[in-house]
């Protein structure tokens, strides 16, 4: 359990550093598509996220609850009603959300070897985002709450929007 948390924190630090160093949202793909202020805001969010994670590293016996408390105000909580709209936005405008921490609830599913967070209900069930950096996977179909950083990751050889998981909690049905 302790190794899971340490690994999750290390991965989050690595991913945050990768975004800052390797041209995450601060690299302009389309001239004029971002302003200097946008770039600075993303870098500030990454720094704030890393500060929260560094705080969590002070104790190697930190629980998921303590890790979430350390991240504190940096977590953007997404309600069930806003799930579909938010995940669509992640997928369509990833650079606007990359490096920020979000907490979403949904169902854990797998397609092949790729884990996803998907909506629990109706027509939004196909709106899903791949999950990366999972140490332990919950049972397929489980209702979960995921806290993670929006980023790009490799899925089936393609760079796509993903949620780098810091904490995943299985919820009571």
Query: What pLDDT shows up at residue 45?
Result: 57
**Residue 103: how many other CB atoms lie within 10 Å:** 17
User: For residue 108, what are the β-bridge partners?
Assistant: 117
- What is the model's pTM? 0.62
Structure tokens at 74: 């940096």
pLDDT at 32: 42
The CA distance from 85 to 32, in Å, is: 26
What was the pLDDT predicted at 68? 60
- Residue ranges of the domains in the chain? 2-170
pLDDT at position 120 = 67
- Give domain 2-170's CATH superfamily: Nucleic acid-binding proteins (2.40.50.140)
Per-residue model confidence (pLDDT) at position 64: 64
Name residues whose C-beta falls within 8 Å of residue 73's C-beta, 6 or more positions apart in sequence. none
Q: What is the pLDDT along the chain (173 residues), one digit of tens a residue?
A: 444 455 455 545 545 554 444 444 433 334 344 455 555 565 555 555 555 555 544 444 566 666 666 666 778 899 888 988 999 999 999 999 999 999 999 999 998 999 999 986 555 567 899 999 888 899 998 999 999 999 999 998 999 999 999 889 999 87
Q: Determine the Cα–Cα distance for residues 101 and 113; give it in Å rounded to an integer.
A: 24
Q: Could you give phi then psi for residue 90, rounded to 5 degrees? A: -55, -45
Structure tokens given for 17: 């550093």
Long-range own/partner contacts, residues 116-125 (CB < 8 A, 24 or more apart): 117/87, 117/144, 117/146, 117/163, 119/83, 119/84, 119/87, 120/80, 124/83, 124/84
Residue 75: what pLDDT? 86
């Amino acid at each position: 359990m302790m190794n899971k948390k340490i690994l999750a924190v290390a991965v989050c630090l690595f991913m945050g550093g990768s975004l800052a160093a390797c041209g995450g949202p601060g690299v302009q793909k389309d001239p004029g598509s971002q302003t200097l202020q946008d770039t600075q805001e993303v870098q500030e969010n990454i720094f704030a996220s890393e500060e929260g994670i560094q705080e969590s590293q002070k104790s190697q016996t930190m629980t998921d609850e303590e890790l979430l408390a350390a991240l504190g105000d940096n977590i953007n909580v997404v309600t069930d009603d806003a799930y579909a709209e938010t995940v669509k936005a992640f997928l369509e405008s990833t650079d606007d959300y990359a490096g920020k921490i979000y907490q979403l609830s949904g169902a854990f599913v797998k397609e092949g070897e790729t884990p996803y967070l998907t909506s629990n209900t109706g027509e939004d069930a196909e709106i899903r985002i791949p999950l990366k950096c999972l140490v332990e996977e919950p049972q397929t179909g489980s209702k979960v709450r995921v806290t993670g950083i929006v980023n790009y990751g490799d899925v089936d050889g393609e760079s796509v929007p993903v949620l780098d998981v810091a904490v995943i909690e299985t919820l009571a049905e």
